[in-house]
């Protein structure tokens, strides 16, 4: 069984009511979520623009206690290409068969007080975002980019209901149905 570590770093093998599963691109990091998101939203802030290289991020904020991470050898072929061969092994050289994968596969950028971003050091996938401590609405939340959640493209539970930092929203972007717009971060 893969090692399971909850978001506070304690080992915990109990099976919760799993509502969502997901992984990074190479599948070295997989996770489960046992609660619904507090909110799924689009974020147009500069941090999200820079860190995604896109115009906005599609995120969901979950209770930290709902998240469990596990680690294993990466998938041999993360790229779902019909032409993928052994020489295009998505694992690269980072993990041969003798290399154990543990939580150290997750790299952290930033510090708790001012915000942290965690990503898979093998494939670079953005996985977890912890907003700076002074943002009250996010203090007990972990933000997960929705695209790393399995089946998120058809999941009504993850439909965005808010847009944050609309002060930076692209002019060319059409209005979204069913989202509440905030100039900065929403507060509830």
Q: Measuring CA to CA, which residue among 138, 93, 129 is closest to residue 108?
A: 129
Residues 15-34 that bind Zn ion (CB under 5 A): 24, 26, 28
Residue 48 or 142 having the CB closest to Zn ion? 48
User: Residue 34, exposed/middle/buried by CB under 10 A (0-12, 13-18, 19+)?
Assistant: middle
Q: Give the span between the Cα atoms of 16 and 70, in whole angstroms.
A: 14
Contacts 24+ apart (CB under 8 A), 143-147: 143/59, 143/60, 143/61, 143/62, 144/22, 144/31, 144/33, 144/59, 144/60, 144/61, 144/62, 144/67, 145/52, 145/57, 145/58, 145/59, 146/40, 146/58, 146/59, 146/60, 147/58
When asked if residue 148 is in the footprint of Zn ion (CB under 5 A), the reply is no
Q: How far is the CB of 127 from Zn ion (least distance, A)?
A: 8
The distance of closest approach from Cβ of residue 144 to Zn ion in the complex, given in angstroms and rounded to an integer, is 13
Residue found under tokens 């905030």:
182
Give min distance, CB of 17 to Zn ion, in A: 26
CB of 49 to Zn ion, least distance (A): 8
Question: Residue 48 interacts with Zn ion (CB under 5 A)?
Answer: yes
Subset of 108-147 contacting Zn ion (CB under 5 A): 120, 122-123
15/103 with CB nearer Zn ion = 103
Between residues 15 and 183, which has the closer beta carbon with respect to Zn ion?
183
Residue 185 beta carbon to Zn ion: minimum distance, rounded to whole angstroms: 8
Indicate the DSSP class of residue 19: -
Instruction: Choose between 20 and 41: whose C-beta lies nearer to Zn ion.
Output: 41
Does position 45 interact with Zn ion (CB under 5 A)? The reply is: yes
Binding interface with Zn ion (CB under 5 A): 24, 26, 28, 43, 45, 48, 120, 122-123
């Amino acid at each position: 069984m893969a090692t399971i570590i909850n978001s506070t770093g304690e080992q915990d093998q109990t099976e919760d009511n799993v509502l969502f599963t997901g992984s990074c691109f190479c599948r070295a990091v997989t996770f489960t979520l046992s609660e619904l998101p507090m909110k799924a939203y689009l974020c147009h802030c500069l941090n999200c623009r820079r860190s995604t290289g896109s115009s906005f991020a599609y995120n969901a904020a979950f209770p930290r206690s709902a998240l469990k991470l596990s680690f294993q050898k990466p998938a041999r072929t993360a790229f779902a290409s019909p032409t993928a061969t052994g020489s295009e092994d998505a694992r690269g050289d980072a993990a041969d068969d003798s290399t154990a994968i543990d939580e150290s596969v997750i790299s952290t950028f930033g510090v708790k007080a001012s915000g942290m971003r965690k990503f898979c050091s093998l494939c670079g996938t953005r996985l977890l975002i912890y907003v700076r401590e002074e943002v009250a609405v996010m203090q007990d939340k972990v933000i997960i980019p929705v695209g790393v959640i399995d089946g998120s493209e058809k999941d009504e539970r993850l439909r965005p209901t808010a847009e944050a930092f609309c002060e930076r929203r692209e002019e060319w972007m059409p209005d979204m149905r069913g989202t509440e717009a905030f100039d900065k971060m929403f507060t509830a």
